[in-house]
Amino acid sequence: MKKHVSLTLAAAALIVLSSGFIFRDLVKDILSDKNEVAVAPAEHAAPTKTLYDFTVKSLDGKPVALSGFKGKKVIVLNTASKCGFTPQYADWEKFYKEHGDKIVVLGFPAGNFANQELDSNEEIASFCKKNYGVSFPMFEKISVKGDDQAPLYKWLTTKDMNGWNDKAPTWNFCKYVINEKGELTHFFGSKVKPEDDEFKKAVGI
């Protein structure tokens, strides 16, 4: 009996210890992101592709050619429904309503960080509409890093393809800014919001 209790206690201690390491790593990831910013240098290689070379699927499974956004700036977000940054949905919805005629917000749900996204596209669509009234374009759940990285994010994070940037998302709600020619110009970390001066400068408002 004593041996059984000892093994049980040892297993419980191991679980608690492991959870502590996981929690520590999650906190480390979030805190290290800060207000991270990367800007395209004045001189950089020409991109081999632009945003307009990609077609993605909407939350209801319909193909959307991103060439349809020619002539507008585009903000690409990797979103999640169960994250500390999830309330940013409200910030970006407000921004989209105010500037959507010139600057489009595109949301790409992903579960790469602590699996903080819902399982199905239907659940995601319902959550976004019910809780934040999201009206900006949302797309099917994808992977934004790793071996199964979606082609769009492969372009956003590969210097040889976009001309200068190799910065992948460090957590949920990172932002990539695309200019009116479909070229990547800026990367912003999770904590950066639409009202931040650096972001407003990047999009010209």
Q: What is the pLDDT of residues 146-177, one digit of tens each?
A: 999 999 999 999 999 999 999 999 999 999 99
* pLDDT tens digits, 73-90: 999 999 999 999 999 999
pLDDT of residue 24: 52
Give DSSP secondary structure letters for 18-55. Answer: HHHHHHHHHHHHHHHHTT-EEE--SS-PPPS--GGG-E
**Which residue of the set 40, 83, 138, 177 is catalytic?**
83
* Burial environment of residue 110 by CB neighbours within 10 A (0 to 12, 13 to 18, 19 or more): buried
CA angle 15, 20, 26 (to 5 degrees): 125
CB 185 within 8 A of CB 33: no
Q: How many helices (H) and strands (E) does the chain have?
A: 6, 7
CA 130 to each of CA 24, 65, 81, 105, 123: distance values in angstroms, whole numbers, following the listed order: 32, 27, 12, 19, 10
pLDDT of residue 119: 79
Cα–Cα distance for residue pair 96/76, rounded to 1 Å: 12
pLDDT of residue 26: 52
Give yes or no: 83 in active site.
Answer: yes
User: Identity (one letter) of the amino acid at 83?
Assistant: C
pLDDT of residue 22: 45
CB 85 within 8 A of CB 172: yes
pTM score of the predicted model: 0.84
Average pLDDT by consecutive 10-residue portion of the chain (205 residues)? Answer: 46 41 49 73 95 96 97 97 95 97 97 91 90 95 97 98 96 97 97 96 95
CB 151 within 8 A of CB 54: yes
Give Dmax (Cα) for the chain: 73
